[in-house]
Amino acid sequence: MQLLKVFLSSTCYDLGVLRETIGGHIKALGHEAIMSEDSIYYESYKPLELSCYNEVANSDIMIHIIGGKFGSESKINQNYSVAQTELLKAIDLRKPIMVFIEDKVNHDYIAYQENEKIFLAHPEIMNDWKFEIVTDYRIFGFVKLIKNKNLPIYTYNSSEKLKTVISNQLSSLFHDRLSKSKNDAREFFDQNYVDVSKEFLSNLKNILNYVINFDIKRLNAMLSGIFEGMRLLFKS
The answer on 173 and 208 residing in a single domain is: no
Q: Decide if pLDDT at 203 tops 80.
A: no
* End-to-end C-alpha distance for the chain, whole angstroms: 23
Instruction: State how far the Cα of 34 lies from the Cα of 212, in Å rounded to an integer.
Output: 67
**pLDDT for position 1:** 46
Of 55-64, 112-121, 146-155, 216-225, which gets the smallest average pLDDT?
216-225
The answer on 173 and 80 residing in a single domain is: yes
Mean pLDDT of 48-56: 89
Q: Is the pTM of this model over 0.85?
A: no
Instruction: State how far the Cα of 154 lies from the Cα of 162, in Å rounded to an integer.
Output: 9
**pLDDT for position 18:** 96
CA angle 169–88–146, rounded 5-degree value = 70
Query: Nearest to residue 58, comparing CAs of 68, 50, 48, 47?
Result: 50
Q: What is the CATH number of the domain that holds 148?
A: 3.40.50.10140
Q: Band of the pLDDT at 221, cuts 50, 70, 90?
A: low
The answer on 106 and 79 residing in a single domain is: yes
Mean pLDDT of 198-227: 59
Do strands 153-156 and 5-9 pair parallel, antiparallel, or not at all (unpaired)?
unpaired
Across all residues in the chain, what is the average pLDDT? 82
Instruction: State how far the Cα of 190 lies from the Cα of 2, in Å rounded to an integer.
Output: 23
> In this structure, are residues 132 and 120 in contact, taking their beta carbons and an 8 Å threshold?
no
Q: Band of the pLDDT at 178, cuts 50, 70, 90?
A: low
Instruction: State how far the Cα of 147 lies from the Cα of 108, in Å rounded to an integer.
Output: 15
Domain extent, residue 211, equals: 183-235
Mean pLDDT of 204-212: 57
Of 36-40, 114-118, 187-191, which gets the smallest average pLDDT?
187-191
Q: Band of the pLDDT at 39, cuts 50, 70, 90?
A: low
Phi and psi, residue 195, nearest 5°:
-65, -45
Phi and psi, residue 125, nearest 5°:
-65, -30
The answer on 201 and 177 residing in a single domain is: no
Q: How would you list the strands of the sheet with 97-102, edge to edge?
A: 32-34, 5-9, 61-66, 97-102, 153-156
Instruction: State how far the Cα of 45 lies from the Cα of 112, in Å rounded to an integer.
Output: 41
Instruction: State how far the Cα of 187 lies from the Cα of 196, in Å rounded to an integer.
Output: 14
Please tell me the total count of domains within the chain. Answer: 2
The answer on 213 and 120 residing in a single domain is: no
Q: In terms of pLDDT, which residue wins out, 179 or 117?
A: 117
Tens-digit pLDDT profile for residues 66-104: 999 999 999 989 889 999 999 999 999 999 999 999 999
Mean pLDDT of 161-182: 81
